[in-house]
Structure formats: C-alpha cells, structure tokens
Amino acid sequence: MRPRFTIAGLLALVAASGVAFAALRHADEPVASLIVTGTLLALGVASLGAAFRRGKSRAYLAGIAAFGWGYMILALGPGAEESLRPRLLTTRLLDGLYPALNPDPGGAVRIWDSGKGKPLLSVSPDGRTVMPLGSESTTIQGLWGYSSEPFQDVGHSVTASILALLGGMVARAFAARSERERPGEV
C-alpha cells in the first residue's frame, strides 16, 4: 500500500518543520521546555489513542507511541545524559550542527567534545587567545552566553517526533499486511 498524503497533511508537515528549525536556531531554556513538553504531550495523546482506537489507526498510534516514547526515554530519560545520550548518533549529529546554527557573535571558534556534548576550548577571532574550558564549573553558558543543552533537548525532541511518525507508518504497514493475510480478524 502506497502512503497517501493530503494537502492538509503536507501543510502540517511544513509548519512543524518550520517550528522545529526555528526552535533549533533559537534554542534556549524556555524554547526547549516548550518543545520537550509539546513532544511529551503529543506522545501522551498518541498513547491514549492507541489504547482506545481500533483498526489501522490504533496500529498507527501505537507505532507513534512506541517509537516516540522509546527514543525520548533513551535520549532524555533518567541517567541518560551521562550513560547513553553521548553514544547516540543523533547526539553527535546535533553536536556538529550546533556551531553551524548558533555561531558565536564574537566570532570565536569553539572546539567541541562530541562524546560529552560540551566545548573543550574557545579560540578568539585573531587566533591568539585560547580559553580552555577544563574546569567542570565553567560552561559555554557562563563564558560566552551560550549553552548547547537546550539545543540538544530540542534536537532530541524533534528526532523523537520524526521517529514516532516513522514508527506509526511502519506499524500501519504491518497492520495492513496482517489484515490482508487474515481478512475479517482485527
């Protein structure tokens, strides 16, 4: 079965993409809180829909809930920041994307540790001044006014939403195939 897209669905996709890119570009604590909360709310609604709907829509919502919650727990769950989150491919991609989307207004170049998602040092625009970020108390927020943590939270929430939609499409395809193999059973 070929996926079908409606004009309204495509408009919603464009709007959601715009919000996601704007949130990534201007990621700070309030924006991250809003995006993470919205993602959790959407996954909660999908979970309720999966519990009370029937047929293909139930499978679609169950796929959304399973993939979305699974990724959110892996990326943002308890203890994930130190143990699992640094090992996710998406964390490394977000670490590489952060300096491109959030350049330092002073022109300083930051060198990042992609394993920890934190900057190691910052070099001034003239290349002469190197500011090491060796102590645990010094963060990029305190030094330059930026922090990659809200960016990471927004990025992982957006990734969870994308994976949730993909999970819903996979679950719907499985349900359609199961229906073709066993007509009449639900």
Do 82 and 27 fall within a single domain? yes
How many domains are contained in the chain?
2
Q: Within 13 Å, how many C-alpha atoms sit on residue 120's CB side?
A: 7
- 15 falls within a domain: yes
Rounded CA separation 4/41 (Å): 26
Do 72 and 16 fall within a single domain? yes
Do 153 and 74 fall within a single domain? yes
- Of 33 and 184, the structure prediction assigns the larger pLDDT to 33
Residue 103 has pLDDT above 70, yes or no: no
- 109 falls within a domain: yes
Q: How much is the pLDDT for 27?
A: 86
Mean predicted confidence (pLDDT) in 152-170: 94
Structure tokens at 15: 């709007």
Mean predicted confidence (pLDDT) in 20-37: 91
Q: What percent of the chain has pLDDT over 70?
A: 75
- Of 84 and 44, the structure prediction assigns the larger pLDDT to 44
pTM, full prediction: 0.74
Residue 134 has pLDDT above 60, yes or no: no
Residue 47 has pLDDT above 90, yes or no: yes
Q: How much is the pLDDT for 135?
A: 44
Residue 133: domain span: 103-145
Residue 165 has pLDDT above 90, yes or no: yes
Q: How much is the pLDDT for 132?
A: 62
Share the mean pLDDT of the chain. 81
- 124 falls within a domain: yes
Do 107 and 159 fall within a single domain? no
- 94 falls within a domain: no
Do 61 and 115 fall within a single domain? no
Angstrom CA distances, 57 to 28, 46, 138, 172, stand at 35, 10, 49, 7
Do 164 and 141 fall within a single domain? no
Mean predicted confidence (pLDDT) in 23-41: 92
Do 119 and 161 fall within a single domain? no
Mean predicted confidence (pLDDT) in 157-185: 85
The pLDDT tens digits for 66-89 are: 999 999 999 998 888 888 888 899
Do 39 and 122 fall within a single domain? no
Do 134 and 152 fall within a single domain? no
The pLDDT tens digits for 135-159 are: 443 444 444 445 688 999 999 999 9
Rounded CA separation 72/97 (Å): 20
Q: How many helices (H) and strands (E) does the chain have?
A: 6, 3
- 110 falls within a domain: yes
Q: How much is the pLDDT for 51?
A: 94
Rounded CA separation 109/128 (Å): 12
Are the CB atoms for 68 and 97 separated by under 8 Å?
A: no
Do 107 and 27 fall within a single domain? no
